[in-house]
Amino acid sequence: MTLRAERVVWHRGGALVVDDVTLRPAPGTTIGLLGPNGSGKSSLLRLLGGTAKPDSGVVTLDGAELRSLTRRDIARAVAVVSQHADTDVDIRVRDVVRLGRIPHRGSFGTASATRDVEAVAEALRHTGLTDKADQRWDTLSGGERQRAHIARALAQEPRELLLDEPTNHLDIRHQLELLSLVARLPVTSVIALHDLNLAATFCDEVIVLERGRAVAGGTPREVLTAELIARVYGVRARVGVDERGRLTVLFEPGPLDESAELTPEDAPWPR
């Protein structure tokens, strides 16, 4: 059993942002949420994390409806790394990671102080931040901040990890490091991603969203075809398999339909 969405629908500010999506990740797998900007990836993650309630359909955790659980019960199983989570507080990395222990605490003090210390140390080690534990947040680079958020989520000791475009603003090396870390973790991860090659490399399965609807789902090889990329993203792509058996997506600049290519006379500026 795990975190599941069954036919969820969500209107946000009058607009339909998630339209009848079903998601049933197998335990321990890494699922990629793909789709262009505004296709509903972040909204679906918010429904899965329980910070938004679906208008119809249900999200369940181990078979129990999310809205019947307390926030703390959810937080003990599901951790979230959202976009744009920044702070003005002069907080140290270790204290950021320690936030992840909050769901495991009582109102006063903590259930197990030693367990807290261990979990924080482990999370710092997993994310390569042990040496930076005493640095202040405002001295970290974008990549280090993202890793600190992941460490905070790991300290939560979740079974499910929801990540919203975690590779944004990271250089290639950090993108690869971060996603291999997430894929290695013994948790079920749902990751919203823009980069189709990263999705093909690290995800066991991908779901493609288009205007709130799930239009394709399956292994990256089944889903990421030139036709689908053209239809959903409006971009020409060549999809191949390299000599090591990995899926690669190459994008072609220019309009989708070659016959509609602009002639110099169509230029929007006067010649």
Partner 1 sequence: MVLLLAGGLVAVALSVGAAITLGPADVSLVNVRDVLLNHLGLADIPVRVVKDAIVWEERLPRALTAAAAGAGLGICGAVMQSLLRNPLADPFLLGISSGASTGAVVIGVLGVGGSVLGLSGGAFIGALLAFALVMLLARLAGGGTDRVILAGVASTQLFSALTSFVIFAFADADETRGVMFWLLGSLEGVRWDDVALCAVVVAVGIAVCLAYAHALDAFSFGDEIAASLGIAVARVRLGLLVLTALITATLVSVTGAIGFVGLVLPHAARFLFGPRHAALIPATALIGAVFMVWVDAVSRVAFQPTPLPVGVGTALVGVPAFVLILVRKRRAP
Find, among 207, 183, 192, the residue nearest to 28 by Cα. Answer: 183
Q: Count residues contacting partner 1 (CB under 8 A)? A: 36
- Name which of 137 and 233 has its Cβ closer to partner 1: 137
Site string for partner 1, 128-167 (x = CB under 8 A): ----------xx---------x------x-----------
- Sole binder of partner 1 in the list 80, 163, 181, 207 (CB under 8 A): 80
Q: Is 149 helix (H, G, I), strand (E, B) or coil?
A: helix
Provide the sign of the torsion angle of the four alpha carbons 134, 148, 72, 182, taken in this order: negative
For 185, the token pair is: 């973790």
User: Residues 5, 34, 47, 75: which binds partner 1 (CB under 8 A)?
Assistant: 75
Interaction mask 91-110, partner 1, x per CB under 8 A: xx--xx--xx-xx-x-xx--
Q: Does 169 bind partner 1 (CB under 8 A)?
A: no
**Stretches 19-27, 74-82, 118-126, 192-200: which one binds partner 1 (CB under 8 A)?**
74-82
Give the E-state strand segments of 111-241 in sequence order.
Answer: 160-164, 188-192, 205-210, 213-218, 236-241
The minimum distance between CB 117 and partner 1, in angstroms, equals 15
**Which residues are CB-neighbours of 252 under 8 A, at least 6 positions away?**
235, 236, 237, 238
Give whichever of 104 and 214 is closer to partner 1, judged by the CB atom.
104
Tokens of 226: 């030139």
88 binds partner 1 (CB under 8 A): yes
Tell me which amino acid residue 161 is.
Answer: L
Residue 217 engages partner 1 in binding (rule: CB under 8 A): no
- Among 200, 205, 213, which Cα is nearest to 244's? 200
Q: What is the CA radius of gyration of the chain?
A: 21
Per DSSP, 25 falls in state P
Does 213 bind partner 1 (CB under 8 A)? Our answer is no
How far is Cα 109 from Cα 74, in angstroms, rounded to an integer?
A: 20
x/- mask, partner 1, residues 9-48, rule CB under 8 A, reads -------------------------------------x--
Selected from 11, 20, 58, 82, the binder of partner 1 by CB under 8 A is 82
| Contact assessment for residue 162 and residue 49, using Cβ atoms and an 8 Å cutoff | yes
Which residue number, 4 or 104, has a Cβ lying nearer to partner 1?
104
Residue ranges binding partner 1 (CB under 8 A): 46, 49-51, 70-76, 78-80, 82, 85-92, 95-96, 99-100, 102-103, 105, 107-108, 138-139, 149, 156
